[in-house]
Amino acid sequence: MDSRARNRTTAERDVDSVLHPYTNLIRHQEVGPLVITHGKGVKVFDEAGRDYFEGLAGLWCTSLGWGEERLVEAAAAQMRKLPFYHLFSHKTHDPAVELCERLLAMAPVPMSKVFLAGSGSEANDTALKLIRYRAHALGQPNKIKVIARDKAYHGVTVATAALTGLPNNHRSFGLPVDEVIRAACPHHYRFARPDESEEAYSSRLATELEAQILKEGPDTVAAFFAEPVMGAGGVIVPPAGYFPKIQAVLDKYDVLLVADEVICGFGRTGKMFGTETFGIRPDMMTLAKGLSSGYAPISALMVNQRVYGPVAEESGRIGVFGHGYTYGGHPVSAAVAVETLKIYAERDILAQVNAVAPVLQDGLAAFRGHPLVGETRGVGLIGAVELVADKASKAPFDAALGIGARVVAKAQAHGVILRAMGDTVAFAPPLIISAEEIRDLLRRFGQALDEAHGEIT
Ligand code: PLP
């Protein structure tokens, strides 16, 4: 660091040097960043020493909270022993093998093999490529169309951004390059007909999906991607009966189901995987975030034999499975992930989640009476509060008011970091959070809601 840099604050240097993801870049030059220096438990601290509840576990990932020394040690030990090796061309190392074995043993349905990558986007991108490779292997090169839902979030690479069904991931990027078939977002509160039960709504969505597959031609439709609970789209919990009904349609037309467990995996919904919570039988599962508690970048794609068999055959025919990332299965990340999975098992993370989940869910539900709140929803330790201008008609606020962002900014002033997706505020705290911490977090959120309400009335 030269002396000029030493005299300037981190915030000033940030504004001059960092291109920020998911940020209004022009506004950033005016408001600058919040500089986070360290974390402990479910809290992070800024450079002025102020502490914040991390109500979204960072980016839905830091399940074990901050300061978990066992993960630090696992990384350090692996760094010393083998800081890098790869899995290309018949090479392997112990952390990768142990991780894949553990994941296969945990899988909620029989899975055959695990592919390791560095991010959720890469895992979903790999799923897309396997779908295409398999189709060629099976002599069905036209069966490569994929279905994803409105408001889905599956990543931001050129290919996975097409799966993602949120306008700001397409706008001005000239995306999607390849259209995907866009199925309905299963949000009962917003999109069900008046008096339509959850089951009836789910049946209608399954019928609509069948009509879409028939319109496209079943021999051209390869796979359906779904997050068990849609995260970045606004924490949409599927309506009763949804996945079994959707799965029946997919089975009928030989369409693979890819469960994107990047957020839901590893206990977030109260079971180890969202697929278990909602009765899904996936052919592929993508995992990231909680896989290493966010301590190291790593993701995994699990595939069943139905997928692996033809893919393996095809690679034998061609001579290579021509896909892989330099950092896929990175030994340090894999070692951290193995240690994370051990901690989940030893500390019975599911028992912990289920013990405190009612405190979060009941606490969120208690906001239903608030004048700004249209719906609260959630399961396990993921939830959301949707703000509306008119409770009876469910009319949203004028977007220019930025009510979601306003509430989140106020919550931050009260020491809680949350995330607004439009006018929905999401909650996904570290899984280790205590009942008392949840109550404190929600109390502060309530103050933020009241203040925002006071401002607009
Ligand atoms: N899938 C889901 C459900 C996600 O929530 C995310 C990220 O938030 C991704 C995929 C993409 O993961 P990454 O940001 O690691 O590429």
d(CA 130, CA 367): 44
Question: Which of ligand 1's atoms lies nearest the C-alpha of 152?
Answer: 3
Instruction: Please choose, from the candidates 245, 247, 251, 255, the residue with its C-alpha nearest in 3D space to the C-alpha of residue 219.
Output: 255
Q: Given pLDDT bands bounded at 50, 70 and 90, which one contains residue 235?
A: very high
| Cα 166 to middle of ligand 1, angstroms | 13
| Cα 44 to middle of ligand 1, angstroms | 22
Amino acid letter, 164: T
pLDDT attached to residue 273: 98
In the predicted structure, residue 363 carries a pLDDT above the cut 70: yes
pLDDT tens-place string over residues 48-107? 999 999 999 999 999 999 999 999 999 999 999 999 999 999 999 999 999 999 999 999
- Taking residues 405-429, report their average pLDDT: 97
- Taking residues 128-144, report their average pLDDT: 97
d(CA 173, CA 315): 33
| Cα 212 to middle of ligand 1, angstroms | 26
Instruction: Please name the residue whose Cα sits nearest to atom 14 of ligand 1.
Output: 120
- Taking residues 231-244, report their average pLDDT: 98
Stated as kind and residue range, the H or E segment containing 3 is helix 3-6
| Cα 164 to middle of ligand 1, angstroms | 10
| Cα 455 to middle of ligand 1, angstroms | 34
Distance of CA 382 to the CA centre of its chain: 11
Instruction: Please name the residue whose Cα sits nearest to atom 5 of ligand 1.
Output: 263
Question: Which of ligand 1's atoms lies nearest the C-alpha of 261?
Answer: 3
Residue 234 contacts residue 259 (beta carbons within 8 Å): no
Q: Given pLDDT bands bounded at 50, 70 and 90, which one contains residue 2?
A: low
User: Where does 275-403 show beta strands of DSSP type E?
Assistant: 284-287, 299-303, 373-379, 382-387
pLDDT attached to residue 145: 98
pLDDT attached to residue 422: 95
d(CA 431, CA 440): 16
Instruction: Please name the residue whose Cα sits nearest to atom 1 of ligand 1.
Output: 154
Percent share of the chain, pLDDT over 90: 97
ipTM of this complex: 0.99
pLDDT attached to residue 457: 83
pLDDT attached to residue 7: 85
Q: Given pLDDT bands bounded at 50, 70 and 90, which one contains residue 430?
A: very high
Average pLDDT, the chain: 97
- Taking residues 330-338, report their average pLDDT: 99
Name every protein residue with a CB atom under 6 angstroms from any ligand 1 atom.
59, 119-121, 124, 153-155, 227, 231-232, 260, 262-263, 288
pLDDT attached to residue 1: 55
Instruction: Please name the residue whose Cα sits nearest to atom 3 of ligand 1.
Output: 262
| Cα 84 to middle of ligand 1, angstroms | 24
| Cα 6 to middle of ligand 1, angstroms | 35
- Taking residues 361-379, report their average pLDDT: 98
Residue 288 contacts residue 119 (beta carbons within 8 Å): yes
Residue 204 contacts residue 170 (beta carbons within 8 Å): no
Mutate to test the pocket of ligand 1, among 262, 286, 289, 382 (most ligand atoms within 8 A of CB): 262
Residue 111 contacts residue 304 (beta carbons within 8 Å): yes
Instruction: Please name the residue whose Cα sits nearest to atom 10 of ligand 1.
Output: 154
Helix (H, G, I), strand (E, B) or coil at 190: helix
- The tokens for 53 are 């509840």
pLDDT attached to residue 3: 60
| Cα 227 to middle of ligand 1, angstroms | 10
Question: Which of ligand 1's atoms lies nearest the C-alpha of 122?
Answer: 16
In the predicted structure, residue 5 carries a pLDDT above the cut 80: no
pLDDT tens-place string over residues 267-286? 999 999 999 999 999 999 99
pLDDT attached to residue 185: 98
Helix (H, G, I), strand (E, B) or coil at 435: helix
Residue 299 contacts residue 262 (beta carbons within 8 Å): yes
